Every structure is written in C-alpha cells, then in structure tokens.
Amino acid sequence: MTKIVNLTHFYPYTARQVWDVATDLDHLSTVTAGLLAFRDLPSGAIHQGQHLKVQVSLFGKLPYQPYEMTVLECDKDKMAFRSNESGAGVKSWRHSLVVLPQDEGSCRIEEQIEIDAGVMTWVFAAWAQFMYRKRHAPRLRILTRGATQTGA
C-alpha cells in the first residue's frame, strides 16, 4: 500500500540559491529542528550514488532508529534529485525534488514523496505532508541570512 504526497513551495530567491540550500545536508538538521534529530549525518551537498546510513529520532525525544537514503539521481544543472529511503518503520520512501525558476529572481520547489509503510502508510503520509511544509519557513530564514551575508 503506497501513498503519494505532492508539495509545492515558492521562494523569492533564485533557483540556484534554493537548490544549494535544499541539497545541503548541513541545513537538514536546521529545517527539521524540533521534528527530527539526526546522528551520523554527513556534511555537504548530496550527490548521485551517495548512500547515507543515519540514526533518526522523532522530535529528538523518541529512541534513535536506523534510517538509510540512497541518492539515485542528482542533477545540479536540472536542479533535480531522486532518492530511495527506508527505516524507522518505513518500508519505502521515494523522494523527488526539482527547483524550477519562476519570474526574475524567484523559483518554486516541487516535491513528491511516495511512501509505503504497510498499514501505517497513512500516518507516515500525514507526517510527510506536515514535516515538508514545516521545512519552508526555516529554509526561508537560511536563504535570507545568506542573502544578507553576501549582500544580495
């Protein structure tokens, strides 16, 4: 049993700026703060073929559980990636993200998450909808801070 979650978020920043933040593992803990905590999360931008084995804790309060992610595709020119993920009660979590330029200096992120967690799929789909929406505001703060620091 799978469920698909689709999300779109708009940003008043260039597609390249948003891509750089969205694919930087150093920002993942920031955009999920209060929702997820990580152990063993590497640093830097994701790349095609990368396989991550981390520990994840809901809210940083529940026990840490193993979680894995394989980056199947990561195209910096097209600003798109696809990953397969599993663990922490999830059989399969297929995530795709693309950053699309909009008007001058703005863009949008389109994400699709296909989830299979057996009988708990609906719970994980609701969680995904909530969690990915919550990433938007912290991502905007990171972008604003970056723009201020670079004088953009």
* Per-residue model confidence as pLDDT tens digits over 24-34: 999 999 999 99
Per-residue pLDDT at 6 exceeds 90: yes
Q: Where does 3-147 sit in CATH, by number?
A: 3.30.530.20
- Please, is 151 exposed, middle or buried when counting C-beta atoms within 10 Å of its C-beta (0-12, 13-18, 19+)? exposed
Buried b / exposed e across 99-116, counting CB within 10 Å, b at 16+? beeeeeeebebebebbbb
Domain boundaries, the chain: 3-147
* Per-residue model confidence as pLDDT tens digits over 38-69: 999 999 999 999 999 999 999 999 999 999 99
